[in-house]
Structure 1
Amino acid sequence: MERKVHSARQRESMYWHLASHGLPKSLHCLCLKLAEEYAMNAAARSRLPSPRFVSRLSDPSLHHLVLLTDNVLAASVVISSTIKSSADPEKLVFHIVTDKKTYTPMHAWFAVNPVESAVVEVKGLHQYDWSREVNVGVKDMIDINQLIWKHYYDNLKEEDLEEASQQSLEALSPSNLSVLNYLCIYIPELFPDLNKVVFLDDDVVVQHDLSPLWGLDLNGKVVGAVVNSWCGDDCCPGRKYNDYINFSHPIISSNFASEADRCAWLYGMNIFDLEAWRRNNITKVYQQWLKLFFHRL
């Protein structure tokens, strides 16, 4: 009876989690209305950006920001707050990448509600003309990630359920099943003409001018990020690398043992040096580690 009660509570927690992370009805209805607007209203299908601003999409002197999202309202909040906080909004270029089902609502929203000063591009994944190698790489990456999670659940023992429940519920979030969740590693392929971009997650509200980020000297490094270090060098209020990576694995421990207790950097806002990314083959290295981990399960 205790096992049945425990199992019922686990299922209840999972259902509550999925319900809270699912698409709210109001947002779903908004997307349907915007899709209808796209079909019925020529203004909602107007080009984004307008032809006179197309050259700005690859202008290295401008400030390029990237969002990978299928949430229309979240993208609007990120962009409007960034523009409002900017000292020079005319230098801002926003690149929104979304999936096929959200492309028409996203396009319609920003076509009917154009932003002032800045440039906004909305592009669906189906509009990219990637090479076969990149297409295969994206498919393999998604398949491997899903198989890894399946292996994790299939081998989760009953005595581990209590300890792993929160991590398990986070893994069940619908966003983790979305292709957009894995595309960050392919940003250089998404924007082959750009050398430096700021990546913003769709759950942030920008409250300060971001212009100084493009002047940062990353000293040849690939990523500039905010770390959880506001409480001092000896404190880590957020998560550490060992919360994400199994450092008991012999390959990990032999190469990166000293990194286990370091604070993980925050994913909500990053600046990427795409030239350094391509020079160090970061995407290829990630794929190699992912396949290595999968084959050793």
Structure 2
Amino acid sequence: MKGGGGGGGVSSSYSFPAKRRWKSLVMAVLGLVFLSMLVPLVFLLGLHSGFHSTMGNPLFSLPAPYLFRLDLAHCTLNSSAFQSGYGTEPRNSGSNDLRVFDQHNPTDISNQSKVRQSTHTDDLIRRLVPTLPQDSKPPIVKGRTSNNMIVVDESEMICQLKFGSYCLWRREQKTKMDDSMVKRMKNLLFVARAYYPSIAKLTSQENLSHEMKQNIQDFERVLSETTTDKDLPRHYEHQMTVMEASIAKAKSCHVDCNNVDKKFRQLVDLTEDEANFHMKQSAFLYKLAVKTMPKSLHCLSMRLTVEYFRSSVDIEETLVKKFVNPDFFHYIIFSRNILSSSVVINSTVLHAKETDKQVFHLLTDEENYFAMKLWFSMNKYGNAAVQVLNIKDLELHSHHKRDLSSLWNLDMGGKVNGVVQSCAVKLFHLKKYLPVSSSFDENSCSWTSGISVIDISRWRIYNLTRTYQQLVHEMSREDGLFETSTLSAGLLTFQGLVYGLEDSWMLSGLGYNYEHKLQKVGSAGVLHFDGSMKPWLELGIPKYKRFWRKYLNTQNHFLSECNVNP
């Protein structure tokens, strides 16, 4: 029994350690399973380097373009980064001293953790956000020429679509300004305005808030009175140093990056709105300047009108036979401008072989009718005759540099209208301006109205006056725009009845195109100053003005009294 009991006792005493070993083995296996799930999760979320999550970090709550804008993505930067002005950091630099303050981290985190955190953040930015190579070049460069092809700046094209010839005039009149320091001050003011609201909310930074507010007010006062560096006050360098120091202090504070980002966006929107406003204002003033009559020309018209009623001279009665003689060369001019009409007639007569056979029929509106009658009765143009008639809202912008008598012997092959065609613009380009019900050849070339040779007999045979009036009435009823309707109706009226003159007869675009060579201008038969920049306006293109001015009698006492000096 003892032996059995002893044996049983021995057996019983060794069974308890076996159970404990089995339980320890189970716990070890469970621990390994748990660790096998936890460790990949730690590496996946970046917890091993102190980077908790991309969802809670303000850096990744911003759009991709702002990841490179260090001011927007990070509230604290190395102060030396802004010594050269805001926004000058390289976009793909990997050596920037970035420090991201996570709100979930304790304030007493070690320096080693900060270094690892910054390195990990930089690495993620480089891996997740595409960067441009340092030697990358923009696809469109203003003014670049290659293989006889000019590459136009896309922004310039958009500007011309919105504001027309104003963009061309602004580009040519643009002067280089010495305003590098002014721009730097504006950049500092921009950054200070973005940080100030966040700093003002910190009760512990009242002194810094007051300092930034004072600096912002000082900068605003200086910049409101300054456009170039020479206008800056003497102490501006000290002001910039103080402002840079204030901005550096603001960046070292713990602020909400989202608030700074929102403020930056608001300032960008306000700046863009202000720039668009000034652009629209300048374009409006430009349009006002080219569409309204200059004060000097208005004075000239009024003086001539008053003088006409004081005078009883009317020499046109002695020229009635000339006006109706079919053997003479008859020119029809539509204009409301005294100077432009005078230049057209004078330049034509000076280059004509037989001036005594030149007859000009000048059609103008009621406002300028009497002024023109007196002007052309006082001024002689060789032996040519000038008849002034009354009509409204028509204008001519050309002057002539060649004897045009050969046009009277032109065989137009049964066509009605002889004009210089422009096949760069065809009717299918103007399809949306033409009536839907009309039928026309889409490949027909458009034509300019600077000079036209009309076969009156065939005009009457085709009854083109009635055709034109019907088209104008129909198109005005559709779109309600009379000016667009008249231009489109003119193209359709002469459909298939246009005879193309040689391009050398006329050069167009002298009122908007800066690119014409002077040699080409000098060899053209007729110069057409179509466009907004007329030669008698201050906004006129300077290099073309001399071709127009030499046919103007600047010694006339009415021009001197009204200070007319185009």
The answer to whether the 8 A contact 2:428-2:442 is kept is: no
Judge conservation of contact 1:68–1:97 (CA < 8 Å) in 2. Answer: yes
TM (normalized to structure 1)?
A: 0.63
Q: State how far apart, in whole Å, the 2-side matches of 1:38 and 1:81 are.
A: 25
TM-score (norm 2): 0.35
State yes or no: 1:256 paired with 2:443. no
The residue number in structure 2 matching 1:31 is 301
Give the Cα separation in 2 of the matches to 1:247 and 1:16: 26
1:52-87 per-position Cα deviation (integer Å, ceiling 9, x unaligned): x21121111111000111111111100000000101
Cα gap change, 1:217/1:296 in structure 2, threshold over 3 Å: closer, same or farther? same
Higher radius of gyration, 1 or 2:
2
Amino acid at match of 2:426: K
In structure 2, the residue corresponding to 1:251 is in which secondary structure? coil
- 2:364 corresponds to 1:180: no
CA distance in 1, matches of 2:472, 2:284: 27
Residue 220 (str. 1) matches residue 414 (str. 2): yes
Separation in structure 2 between the aligned mates of residue 82 and residue 279 of structure 1, nearest angstrom: 30
Residue equivalent to 1:15:
285
Larger RCO, structure (CA 8 Å, separation 6 or more): 1
Q: Which consecutive residues of structure 1, in runs of 5 or more, have no partner in the other structure?
A: 126-178, 182-200, 229-235
Structure 1 residues 293 and 202: alpha-carbon distance in aligned structure 2, compared to 1, 3 A threshold:
closer
Point out where structure 2 has 5 or more consecutive residues left out of the alignment.
1-269, 480-566
- Output the CA distance in 1 between the equivalents of 2:365 and 2:312: 22
Q: How does 1:186-265 map to 2 (within 5 A)?
A: 202-228=396-422, 236=423, 238-246=424-432, 250-252=436-438, 255-259=439-443, 262-265=444-447
SS of the aligned residue for 2:381 comes to coil
**Contact 1:83–1:118 (CA under 8 A) maintained in structure 2:** yes
Tell me whether 1:47 sits opposite 2:315 in the alignment: yes
Q: Secondary structure at the match of 1:214?
A: helix
CA pair 47-249 structure 1, distance change in 2 beyond 3 A: closer
Instruction: Give the corresponding residue for 1:134.
Output: none
Contact 1:96/1:121 (CA < 8 Å) preserved in 2? Answer: yes
In 2 relative to 1, CA 241–36 (structure 1 residues): closer, same or farther, beyond 3 Å? same
Aligned residue identity for 1:202: L
1:273 offset after TM fit, Å?
1.0
C-alpha deviation, 1:23, in angstroms: 0.7
Alpha-carbon RMSD: 2.4
Structure 1 residues 12 and 282: CA distance shift in structure 2, 3 A: same
Could you give the per-residue CA deviations for residues 205-241 of structure 1, whole angstroms, max 9, x where no partner exists? 211110011111222221001123xxxxxxx4x5433
Counterpart of 2:464?
282
| Distance verdict in 2 for CA 1:227–1:38, change over 3 Å | same
C-alpha separation in 1, matches of 2:348 and 2:359: 11
Matched residue SS, 1:266? strand
Q: Number of matched residues?
A: 209
7 and 279 in structure 1: CA distance in 2 versus 1, 3 angstrom threshold: farther
The residue identity in structure 2 corresponding to 1:180 is D
Match of 1:168 in 2: none
Q: Residue 61 of structure 1 corresponds to which residue in structure 2?
A: 327
Q: Please give the alpha-carbon distance, in whole angstroms, between the structure 2 residues aligned to 1:220 and 1:77.
A: 32
Counterpart selection for 1:121 from 364, 384, 387: 387
Identify if the C-alpha distance between structure 1 residues 250 and 124 changes in structure 2 by more than 3 Å, giving closer, same or farther: closer
SS of the equivalent of 1:264 reads strand
8 A Cα contact 2:427 2:441, kept in partner:
no
